Amino acid sequence: MILCSGEALIDMIPVPTVDGPDGFVPHVGGAIFNTAIALGRLGVRTGMLTGLSTDFFGQKLTVALQASDVDVSHVVHSDRPTTLAFVQLNDGHATYEFYDENSAGRMLAPSELPTVSDAVSALYFGGISLTCEPAADTYADLLRREGANRAVMIDPNIRPGFIRDIAAFRARMDDMLGRADIVKVSDEDLDWLVPDPVSMQDKIERVLAAGPALVILTRGSEGATAYRADGDSVMVAAQKMTVLDTVGAGDTFNAGVLAKLSEHGCLTKTALRSLDPVILTDALRYGARVAAVTVTRAGANPPWADEV
């Protein structure tokens, strides 16, 4: 089982109203939630570890996880509110305004972490859940406790506006990236992680030197490149689609990569260190195909396996 550990929230998506101004329609979402949903729909055994509210929106999130075949036995429930993210779309690209204070997800504490099942073979982290304390420290603690013998993927998806203590965030992120096997970054993430005026290749090499077996750099319509610790790399092109919006595209790409690596039996620490370039290319291409379907739909709505 791949255990996706991080935020689940409600995306408030703008839609035109009969009076003219946009209204907002609630859609289940959150970077880690989206990846869990996508994995479940792709037929991969998947679970979610997060803090969910018992309110109306929290119940909606729980039902959505179960409907996409995601195990919810690691979910921690509380009566705190659900995080809301109001989305603005400009030429298909999304920006967000979050309402997250005192939420069920953000306030998840280390003492509330459930025992991780022996069935869990891989861990996935990322999103705003690695930025906002106290939950960010809780997920870092989870990785230290449970990541030594499980494959680990992290997508930092850095949002500078959420970072209140840059030094603390960098220390936590450096520790987590050093324990990861796969790190997926955008060029913006990479520039934030390595702010020195050096080349993109040098920045990637610095991240690899921290410990990961793979760094995957995504560049939207320019495709994705995976860099290996041994110095080799593989690149795949993005699939051309009519884009409705990009909400959840990166999260779905991650799910496709994890799904294909799992299918090949390569989602282990040992296998990722000696990964066949053909298998790695196959995983990147599958991630691109899955993401290409998602961007043709409103909100984060990953495809089922038979739609890819």
Instruction: Identify whether the C-beta of residue 61 lies closer than 8 Å to the C-beta of residue 104.
Output: no
Q: Flag whether 15 is in a domain.
A: yes
Q: Flag whether 207 is in a domain.
A: yes
Q: Flag whether 121 is in a domain.
A: yes
Q: Flag whether 39 is in a domain.
A: yes
User: Confidence class of residue 96 from pLDDT cuts 50, 70 and 90?
Assistant: confident
DSSP string of 52-98?
A: EESSHHHHHHHHHHHHTTEE-TT-EEESSPPPEEEEEEETTEEEEEE
Please tell me the distance from the alpha carbon of residue 84 to that of residue 24, in angstroms, as a whole number.
Answer: 11
Pick from 71-85, 201-215, 242-256, 270-284: least confident: 242-256
Q: Report pLDDT for 242.
A: 66
Q: Flag whether 257 is in a domain.
A: yes
Average model confidence (pLDDT) across the chain: 92
Q: Is the pLDDT of residue 243 over 90?
A: no
pTM: 0.93
When comparing pLDDT for 140 and 250, which is higher?
Answer: 140
Q: Report pLDDT for 249.
A: 81
Which residue range forms the structural domain that includes residue 234? 2-300
User: Confidence class of residue 167 from pLDDT cuts 50, 70 and 90?
Assistant: very high
Q: Report pLDDT for 17.
A: 84
B/e letters for 41-58, b = 16+ CB within 10 Å, e = fewer, are: bbebebbbbbbbbeeebb
pLDDT digit string (tens) for 114-163? 999 999 999 999 989 999 899 999 999 999 999 999 999 999 999 888 89
Q: Flag whether 165 is in a domain.
A: yes
Shortest CA distance to 299 belongs to which of 88, 58, 13?
13
Q: Report pLDDT for 281.
A: 97
User: Confidence class of residue 245 from pLDDT cuts 50, 70 and 90?
Assistant: low
Q: Flag whether 55 is in a domain.
A: yes
Q: Is the pLDDT of residue 22 over 90?
A: no
Instruction: Find the largest Cα–Cα distance for the chain.
Output: 59
Mean pLDDT within 8-30: 86
Q: 10 Å Cβ neighbour count for 173?
A: 20
* CATH code of the domain covering residue 293: 3.40.1190.20
Q: Report pLDDT for 191.
A: 94
Q: Flag whether 44 is in a domain.
A: yes
- Report the number of distinct structural domains present in the chain: 1
